[in-house]
A and B are shown apart, each in its own frame.
Chain A
Amino acid sequence: MQANTRAIYMLPYYVWIVLFVVAPVVLVGYYSFFDVDGQFTLQNYRTFFTPVYLQMTLSSFWYAFLVMLFSLLIAYPAAYWLTRTKHRQLWILLIILPTWINLLLKTYAFIGIFGTYGPINAFLETIGVGQQQLLFNSFSFVFVSVYIFVPFMILPIYNALEEMNPSLISAARDLGASGWTTFQRVIFPLTISGVKSGCMAVFIPSLSLFMITRLIAGNKVITLGTAIEQHFLVTQDWGMGSTVAVVLIIAMALLMLLSGGFGQEVRHGK
């Protein structure tokens, strides 16, 4: 009886998995075995293991890692100090608010801001550093990607910090732990679940970023997302595009297994 009711209310989620996850994955897997003329082939996978694509894969993972790392480095202190502010619920909403403005528009704004005659360069000139090329390099790519993802990192960390029992910190301090030790031994371990879900929410989508690679990096950075976009929309070589997607999905699943997913060390609280 109990098992039954459980199964029924969980139905919508599993229906979703079957219809919108399994079905598309099967479809993508199926397409990956066909060439542009609709002939069955393994050539797509052979093409993937050529230096061009392997190099692209490597650089995608490297940039996704960088984006995740910098997002975390920026988000953690921000989330931490946000929990100490007076109107913190308001501030956290104001962190999310900018994400509601269209991304293409914000990217255009960044092109203006980072441009040769933009405000940043004007500032650099007045302080005597001189004009720099800020656009179309890996710096601008990582910067704008971090800009896009940082709210997604702040939110879960903030929530984890919010729920932490503050008396634990006072206790640690009372016992003579320094600020850093308190952070290392008490605060960080207790918020690790927030950090994990933030990292997932950032790392996974950064693997397939594509618009920014063209607009902000001027195609000087090429990721797997760019390649998929190309194959689906320009050459209409859905087979090759699907192949890259299959590799991405497998890589993601492997990552999940390696990182231990969630839930291994979170039960220590009891």
Chain B
Amino acid sequence: MANKGRWGNVYLVLVFAVLYAPILYLMYYSFNSADNMHQFEGFTWKWYGEVFQDTRLMIILINTLVIALLSSTIATMIGIIGALAIDRIRRRRLKDAVLSLNNVLIVSPDVIIGASFLILFTIVGIKLGFASVLISHIAFSIPITVLMILPRLQEMSPTLIDAARDLGASRRDVLSKVILPFIKPGIFAGFFMAFTYSLDDFAVTFFVTGNGYSTLSVEIYSRARQGVSLSINALSTLIFLFTTALVVGYYMITRRSQGRSRKHEPAAEMGVPR
């Protein structure tokens, strides 16, 4: 068993190495004094200097974060509702139909989503800018959150709910005390995927934005004709280090508080393999 665990670790190290290879490559060249990504000439901080002087880029970065945070949160909330709604449907045919509708936006190429949303917004008369971008990001993130939450919901044994109801729990209590805690992993998975979708999206944002409102992806893609400058590498390095620190920090904090609570209710963590 210990031997097997070692192989498992080797495998994981490999997976992580591949996942992080391109990012390390980008980070390495962000210190290149030449302005390309293939010949390392010498060490420099100049690209980082450029990033901090560029207020426009900073505004774009903040826009990107705001959109990603808000859209993935709201999309997850609607996704929970959607998953509950689909789960309630008894007729199989209808269920599959709704699920297919749910997936349409995942299968549609971004260009089509972008173009049709643009037509939609101009028909309705929404001013293109922050609002239209936010609404679009929420819209295209919902299906993935549903897809992540639904399986957990369907795994839940109905007897659990019946039991709660029998014990006198209200509909609301069942939802907040039984269902939501059970589907929590799905909710967080959905949130993270929605966040990723939002950060990565270029085409949809491009079509529905306006009035000087821009996100990082749009900026990066539109720089491709001129050659993406290494200051974008520098910016990505900073984002990457910052988020890593955030994630690790967050983990440390929650673990410490969990560790404390574990002393009170040791049963809560029982049965989890270490």
Contacts and interface: CB of A to CB of B under 8 A. Distances in A.
A contacting B, Cβ–Cβ less than 8 Å:
yes
B154 interface: yes
B85 A97 contact: no
Pairs of residues from A and B, 8 with the lowest C-beta to C-beta distance, nearest first: A81-B8, A109-B22, A193-B151, A24-B116, A13-B82, A20-B139, A253-B100, A208-B109
B103 A97 contact: no
B20 interface: yes
Contacts of B19: 95, 98, 147, 150-151
A257 B94 CA distance: 11
Given A90-B247, A105-B228, A147 B105 contact: no
Contact of A256 (B96, B186, B271): B96
Contacts of A109: 21-23, 25-26, 37
B23 A89 contact: no
The interface residues of chain A, by DSSP majority, are classed as helix
B193 interface: yes
Interface string A232-245: 11000010011001
Interface in A68-100: 74, 77-78, 80-87, 89-91, 93-100
A97 B243 contact: yes
Interface of B: 4-5, 8-9, 11-12, 15-16, 18-23, 25-26, 29, 37-38, 78, 81-82, 84-85, 88, 92, 95-96, 98-109, 111-113, 115-117, 119-120, 139-140, 142, 144, 147-148, 150-152, 154-155, 157-159, 171, 185-186, 189, 192-193, 195-196, 199-200, 202, 216-217, 220-221, 224, 228, 232-233, 236, 239-240, 243-244, 247-248, 251, 271-274
A197 B85 contact: no
A229 B203 CA distance: 10
A20 B117 contact: yes
A98 B78 contact: no
A14 B115 CA distance: 22
B243 A100 contact: yes
A193 B139 CA distance: 25
A266 B102 contact: no
18 contacts: A5-B171, A10-B85, A20-B117, A21-B102, A78-B15, A91-B12, A96-B192, A99-B200, A100-B199, A100-B243, A105-B26, A105-B220, A106-B23, A112-B25, A155-B192, A196-B151, A228-B111, A252-B103
Interface stretch (A45-53, A128-136, A198-206): A198-206
Nearest to B188: A159
B106 A204 contact: yes
Interface residues of A, number: 102
Contacts of B216: 102
A141 B220 CA distance: 22
Contacts of A200: 103, 106, 147
A269 interface: yes
A229 B27 CA distance: 31
B98 to A, nearest CB: 8
B150 A82 contact: no
A162 interface: yes
Contacts of B109: 208, 210, 225, 228-229, 245, 248
B180 to A, nearest CB: 13
Contacts of B243: 97, 100
A263 B95 contact: yes
A122 to B, nearest CB: 12
Given A155-B189, A200-B103, A262 B151 contact: yes
A5 B106 CA distance: 30
A176 interface: no
B81 A12 contact: yes
Contact of B155 (A80, A102, A163): A163
A33 B245 CA distance: 52
